[in-house]
Chain A
Amino acid sequence: MHDYENTMLIEAVERYITGEMSPDERLNFENLRKADAEVDQMVVEHTLFLQKMNRFNEWQKFHKSLNEIHTNLAESGKINSEKLKGRAKVVYLFNRYKRVASIAAAIAGITTLMVSAIISSLTPKASPSQVDYLSKELRSIKNKTIVQDREINNLKNQGATHHLPEIPYTKGGTGFIIDAKGYLVTNNHVIEGAKNVAVQNAAGKEFFATVVYSDEAADIAILKITDESFKTLPSVPYAFSRKQAELAETIYTMGFPRDEIVYGQGYLSSRTGYNGDTLSCQIDIPVNRGNSGSPVINYNGEIIGIVNGRQKDAQGSAFAIQSSNIYKALTKLKENNKEDSTTRQLKLNTKSSLSGMSHIQQVKKVQDYIYMVKVN
């Protein structure tokens, strides 16, 4: 009997809360509430509880719908969840084990060094000249194959297309892309007096180029790749700084003092160049012949200058033209070619997509935009 009464009461409370009572009934119930504190207490408590259940239910449903949405979006590719899974795992594992891995690597490195030290101390030494000789032999064999390859290519191309005259390039330097459509900047002294200019990318592919602008005083030249086989690159990853770089700022450069791209790191050692030249600055990076025209980049991915020379008696320090000169050169180039629409559209990237990346990643991205400049 007691149970039954309670059931009735709860039902009444629930109907009261949900507003299902008729006005008369409601009035009666409210009177009952006033008269009986126990009933009132029950209404309050039950309201609270139903509210909690309701909220819980909505919360649970919301969670479920979030999961559904996630699956839907991931399947339709609107969020990059699945794609990221593999990468995320690698990054996660890397972050988790990097300390262990570096310790292991260090131990491995030491062991390797010790082993190689023992081996080298035990093996009979070959005379240096012998080694030299062998490497030259290799090179001449390599050259021979290259020549043979060309010969074969020429034979293949004959008849079908005109074949290009072989141009022996005598001078070289470095240049880097300022606009993805195939505009590069380099030093004027690299291309000075040039009859033919070609550029070659890090992958070894060669393109013909012409000099579209040169300024002897500023030692800047702009080249345009004219080769039909050149395809517009993805947008330039680095930015061009208008500001002067800070003293001691860590910088790096990449260029072609050899056939292979060479990376060098250092810092800005003076804001002015040789004999107080304010157009340039002094950097402490080992550079060699062929580095002329290499970009000087900071780790925000901003070009701060172009390598252009070194002091004869000072090892290690070099000079670079400040990047604001690139802006100036471009403005002049536009003035000279007002009719040319491609020239008018040239624009230097001001927002680097490299900042925040690790050095190695930055260098990987940048190297595709650095070309060897070959001149005869």
Chain B
Amino acid sequence: MKETIHEQELILLKGLARSDKKSVEEIYKHNFNLIQALIVNNSGTADDAKDIFQEAMVVLYEKARSGSFELNCQIRTYLYSVAKRLWLKRLQQSNKFVSDFGDDGMASVAVEDDLTEHQEKDTEYELMYQSINKLGEPCKSLLEAVYFQKKSMQDIADGFGYTNAENAKTQKYKCLMRLKKVFFTQYNKKD
């Protein structure tokens, strides 16, 4: 019985790494209430619970898709431990009086390293987000169309009103150079 549970969780994690919607939903469904109870019972709102849970999901997602993830505890335990640390941190940041949750009967695993890694990635994503938004239009939409929606240059030329695909390419190049510049100036400053 234990064996099959373990295998099932591995399948879920593989699905999560592909961001397969069914797997994500399955994990979401089975763990959200637990985390919500944790947050709400420790002076959080339902919105806080959603935030924290989703951040924990992202941590798990990053870990799953990094490929190096070995499941040495249940998904539930992992999410719970991450959420607990995240929430404690947030409470401390908002300078609220924090009494330690005490022993709540749930097993916890050490997640400090994962969280540090997550923090770094998060800053990077945040930086990328800001950089892209700093570009302004049409650069933002143009780059998104090329790199995120993976549209063909011809489609883009039509959609953005460039005379031909070559023209669109030149435009894309200019935007990309600007983005790189904005991004790396900030990025290297942080190192």
Residues of the A chain whose Cβ atoms lie less than 8 Å from the Cβ of B24: 62, 65-66, 69
Per-position contact with B for A61-77: 1 when CB-CB < 8 Å, else 0?
Answer: 11101110110110000
Say how far A57's CB is from chain B's closest CB, in angstroms: 5
Residues of the B chain whose Cβ atoms lie less than 8 Å from the Cβ of A231: none
Are B183 and A49 within 8 A (Cβ)? yes
- Of the residues A11, A55, A79, A87, contact of B32 by C-beta under 8 Å: A79
Are B54 and A70 within 8 A (Cβ)? yes
Which residues of A does B touch, CB under 8 Å? 3-4, 6-7, 10-11, 49-50, 52-63, 65-67, 69-70, 72-73, 78-81, 84-85, 87-89, 91-92, 95-96
Residue on B with the closest CB to A56?
B128
Are B169 and A11 within 8 A (Cβ)? yes
Residues of the A chain whose Cβ atoms lie less than 8 Å from the Cβ of B124: 52, 56
Are B147 and A84 within 8 A (Cβ)? no
Residues of the B chain whose Cβ atoms lie less than 8 Å from the Cβ of A53: 128, 147-148
Are B46 and A81 within 8 A (Cβ)? yes
Q: What's the Cα separation between A60 and B173 when bound, in Å?
A: 23
- Of the residues B50, B54, B169, B183, contact of A81 by C-beta under 8 Å: B50
Residues of the A chain whose Cβ atoms lie less than 8 Å from the Cβ of B148: 53, 57
Residue on A with the closest CB to B39?
A88
Per-position contact with A for B136-178: 1 when CB-CB < 8 Å, else 0?
Answer: 0000000000011000000000000000000001100110110
Per-position contact with A for B47-70: 1 when CB-CB < 8 Å, else 0?
Answer: 001100010011001000100000
Are B173 and A66 within 8 A (Cβ)? no
Q: Is B29 an interface residue (CB 8 A)?
A: yes
Residues of the A chain whose Cβ atoms lie less than 8 Å from the Cβ of B129: 56, 60
Q: What's the Cα separation between A57 and B61 when bound, in Å?
A: 14
Say how far A246's CB is from chain B's closest CB, in angstroms: 19
Q: Is B45 an interface residue (CB 8 A)?
A: yes
Are A59 and B125 within 8 A (Cβ)? yes
Cross-chain pair count, CB within 8 angstroms: 100
Residues of the B chain whose Cβ atoms lie less than 8 Å from the Cβ of A7: 169-170, 173
Are B58 and A63 within 8 A (Cβ)? yes
- Of the residues B19, B45, B50, contact of A65 by C-beta under 8 Å: B19
Q: Which residues 1-59 of B have a CB within 8 angstroms of A?
A: 19, 21, 24-25, 28-29, 32-33, 36, 40-46, 49-50, 54, 57-58
Per-position contact with A for B117-129: 1 when CB-CB < 8 Å, else 0?
Answer: 0000100110011
Q: Is B134 an interface residue (CB 8 A)?
A: no
Are B33 and A69 within 8 A (Cβ)? no
Q: Is B89 an interface residue (CB 8 A)?
A: no
Q: Is B90 an interface residue (CB 8 A)?
A: no
Per-position contact with A for B73-114: 1 when CB-CB < 8 Å, else 0?
Answer: 000000000000000000000000000000000000000000
Instruction: Give me 8 A-to-B residue pairs in the complex whose CB atoms sit less than 8 angstroms apart, sorted by A's number.
Output: A4-B170, A7-B169, A56-B125, A57-B147, A58-B65, A72-B25, A81-B46, A88-B49
Say how far A83's CB is from chain B's closest CB, in angstroms: 10
Give me 20 other A-B pairs in contact (C-beta within 8 A), A10-B176, A62-B24, A88-B36 excluded. Answer: A7-B169, A52-B183, A56-B124, A56-B129, A60-B125, A62-B61, A63-B58, A65-B19, A65-B24, A66-B54, A69-B25, A70-B32, A73-B25, A79-B28, A81-B32, A81-B36, A84-B40, A92-B43, A92-B45, A95-B43
Residues of the B chain whose Cβ atoms lie less than 8 Å from the Cβ of A81: 32, 36, 46, 50
Q: What's the Cα separation between A158 and B179 when bound, in Å?
A: 91
Are B45 and A66 within 8 A (Cβ)? no
Are B21 and A69 within 8 A (Cβ)? yes
| Dominant secondary structure of chain A at its interface with chain B | helix
Say how far B148's CB is from chain A's closest CB, in angstroms: 5
Are B180 and A49 within 8 A (Cβ)? yes
Q: What's the Cα separation between A63 and B32 when bound, in Å?
A: 15
Are A89 and B19 within 8 A (Cβ)? no
Residues of the A chain whose Cβ atoms lie less than 8 Å from the Cβ of B42: 95
Residues of the A chain whose Cβ atoms lie less than 8 Å from the Cβ of B43: 92, 95-96
Say how far B95's CB is from chain A's closest CB, in angstroms: 13
Q: What's the Cα separation between A63 and B108 when bound, in Å?
A: 25
Q: What's the Cα separation between A58 and B62 when bound, in Å?
A: 10
Are B170 and A3 within 8 A (Cβ)? yes
Q: What's the Cα separation between A67 and B55 when bound, in Å?
A: 11
Residues of the B chain whose Cβ atoms lie less than 8 Å from the Cβ of A92: 40, 43-45
With contact pairs A66-B28, A69-B25 given, residues A3 and B41 touching in the complex (Cβ less than 8 Å): no
Say how far B188's CB is from chain A's closest CB, in angstroms: 12
Residue on A with the closest CB to B57?
A66
Q: What's the Cα separation between A73 and B61 when bound, in Å?
A: 19
Q: What's the Cα separation between A55 and B50 when bound, in Å?
A: 23
Are B28 and A91 within 8 A (Cβ)? no
Are A59 and B29 within 8 A (Cβ)? no
With contact pairs A6-B173, A65-B24, A66-B24 given, residues A58 and B19 touching in the complex (Cβ less than 8 Å): yes
- Of the residues A56, A80, A91, A96, contact of B33 by C-beta under 8 Å: A80
Say how far A356's CB is from chain B's closest CB, in angstroms: 9
With contact pairs A81-B46, A81-B50 given, residues A69 and B28 touching in the complex (Cβ less than 8 Å): yes
Residue on A with the closest CB to B173?
A7
Residues of the A chain whose Cβ atoms lie less than 8 Å from the Cβ of B183: 49, 52
Q: Which one of A10, A58, A62 has the greatest number of beta carbons of chain B within 10 Å?
A: A62
